[in-house]
Amino acid sequence: MAIQRGGFSTRIGFILAAAGSAVGLGNIWKFPFEVGEGGGAAFVVMYLAFCFILCFPVMVAEISIGRKTKRNAVGAFTALGHKKWSIIGYLGLTSGVLILSFYNVVAAWAFGYFIEMVTGHFDIGQRFGEFTSDYLTVGLYSLLFMGTTAFVVSRGVSKGIERAARILMPTLFVLIVGLIIYALTLPNAMAGLKFYLVPEFSEITGNVVYSALGQAFFSLSLGMGALITYGSYLSRDSNIVKSAAQITLMDVGVAVLAGFMIFPFVFSQGIEPNGGPGLIFVTLPGVFESLGSWAGVIIGSFFFLLLSFAALTSTISLLEVPTAYVVDEHGIKRSKATWLVAIVIFLVGIPSLLSNGASEALGQFITLPGAGTLDFMSFVGLIANDTFLPLGGFMIAVFVAYVWRKENFDAELAEGADNLKGSWLQSYVNFAVSYVCPVLLGLIFIVTVLDNFLGIRIMTMLLG
């Protein structure tokens, strides 16, 4: 199929776009509340270990498959001569659609908060539940958000994404560092730091392991072919291992910083850290209010605006995966494909929109043996994010090591690498996709599926 593909114009363009995909609500919204629910520092330790030991090699694998084949998440496997394995791509498309369907709603909260901050409504933190249950307002913002995402994606990767990521990411970084400094001056900040940094290993349960792994994959945008797709636009002279290392460090860095910012704030306001998805939305408005009305409006609106942009560079990558599939495999024009996919995903997201207090009727509560009672949004998160992503990562590692084969993988990594024999990192990646990832991901997957979906608590029994 001779389809013209866009490409990233520079190596740094790719890194920024991939880092833009990785850095988003996952780092600043999800990571802190998962840490809060997972008992604090013990969760952080596991998350970090999973990111470096398991996820980084999967990231290298995804980018290599993409660059080698120049195809979308489904077509890439066929292009390598293994059509059956394109099941990984279909699983990825499903994950992408489900994740974007709820992600877009949370992005709408972030954008809504930007509007509330501009208009000086600092009490929005106390009205979080009321705000999220107002499905008309949130629905309107989420329509706007999906529309903006589709607009950028319809114009192709290199133009929109590269440019946005280049300016906004560093700005967000600086703002967070500033807020950390302020946070550390507040009373009780140390209690927050202690919760965040001193692990209580008795807090680790099966569910904590599961959500730390899911969070690692989610935060790094892995396990559904997003980086296969972005890798397909990458030029042959770039160093994949090095780029993946930089992307991983940037993403983990932003998440860790977000924790340094949020926990001192949470503890200084006497808020419980295990409050779930509302954590930053309940906590931050009060912080901005304490800066005084002028500074509060300026810094508060700037923060939520940048958070919305960080979310946008992520929704772009989520929408790009199914779009690239429709364009490549069904020969539909990019602009038409984009809007088609975006409309479908928006509709799939309606139960998530309604699950935050707006409707008792529409899939509000779903009961699972292991996980208890979940609202629809958490349910989609448990399926797509905590289950499908690690499963996708497992299959990608197995595919690369045993189907595509290590020699071919290594040859792909060598292209663009500064050193022909490769670095120690490359050797680790090769070892990890063959042994560490299949074994650990497979084990954790089996144990936690038993735990979450069947209520068989192996992990709890093992950990005592």
Q: Least Å distance between CB 375 and ligand TRP?
A: 20
Interface with ligand TRP, residue 309, by CB under 6 A: no
Are the CB atoms for 32 and 280 separated by under 8 Å?
yes
CA separation for the pair 7, 70 (Å, rounded): 10
Q: Which DSSP helix (H) or strand (E) runs through 374?
A: strand 372-374
To ligand TRP, the closest distance from the beta carbon of 222 in angstroms equals 6
How many Å apart are CA 241 and CA 63, to the nearest integer?
9
CA distance 318 to 73: 12
Residue in 44, 54, 97, 99 binding ligand TRP, rule: CB under 6 A: 99
What is the rounded distance in angstroms from the CA atom of residue 375 to the CA atom of residue 276? 12
Among 226, 279, 337, 382, binds ligand TRP (CB under 6 A): 226
State the Cα–Cα distance between residues 243 and 52, nearest whole angstrom: 14
* Shortest Cβ 276–ligand TRP spacing (Å): 17
- Residue 287 in contact with ligand TRP, rule: CB under 6 A: no
Q: How many residues touch ligand TRP (CB under 6 A)?
A: 16
Nearest approach in angstroms of CB 175 to ligand TRP is 17
Residue with nearest beta carbon to ligand TRP: 26
Residues 387-416 within binding reach of ligand TRP (CB under 6 A): 389
Nearer to ligand TRP, 306 or 389 (CB): 389
Q: Characterise 121 by phi-psi region: left (phi > 0), alpha (psi -120 to 50), beta (else).
A: beta
For residues 377 and 356, the answer to whether their CB atoms sit within 8 Å is yes
Distance CA 35, CA 29 (A): 11
Q: How many residues does the chain have?
A: 464
Contact status: 437 vs ligand TRP (CB under 6 A): no
> Which amino acid is located at 63 in the chain?
I
Q: Per CB under 6 A, which of residues 19..58 are in contact with ligand TRP?
A: 21-22, 24-27
Site for ligand TRP in 232-271 (CB under 6 A): none
- Regarding 224 and contact with ligand TRP (CB under 6 A), the answer is yes
Nearer to ligand TRP, 88 or 224 (CB): 224
Q: How far apart are CA 319 and CA 338, in angstroms?
A: 8
Q: What is the CA radius of gyration of the chain?
A: 21
**Helix 240-268 vs helix 206-219: crossing angle, to nearest 10:** 120
Q: Should residue 318 be labelled a site residue for ligand TRP when binding is judged by CB under 6 A?
A: yes
Nearer to ligand TRP, 152 or 193 (CB): 152
Tokens of 31: 């990571």
Closest CB 310 distance from ligand TRP, rounded Å = 7
Stretch that binds ligand TRP, among 78-86, 125-133, 287-295, 311-319 (CB under 6 A): 311-319
Q: Based on CB atoms, which residue is closest to ligand TRP, 96 or 139? A: 96
Q: Which is nearer to ligand TRP, 218 or 288 (CB)?
A: 218
**Quick check: helix, strand or coil at residue 126?**
coil
| 201 token code pair | 């290993």
DSSP 8-state secondary structure symbol assigned to residue 362: T
Residues engaged in binding ligand TRP (CB under 6 A): 21-22, 24-27, 99, 218-219, 221, 224, 226, 314, 317-318, 389
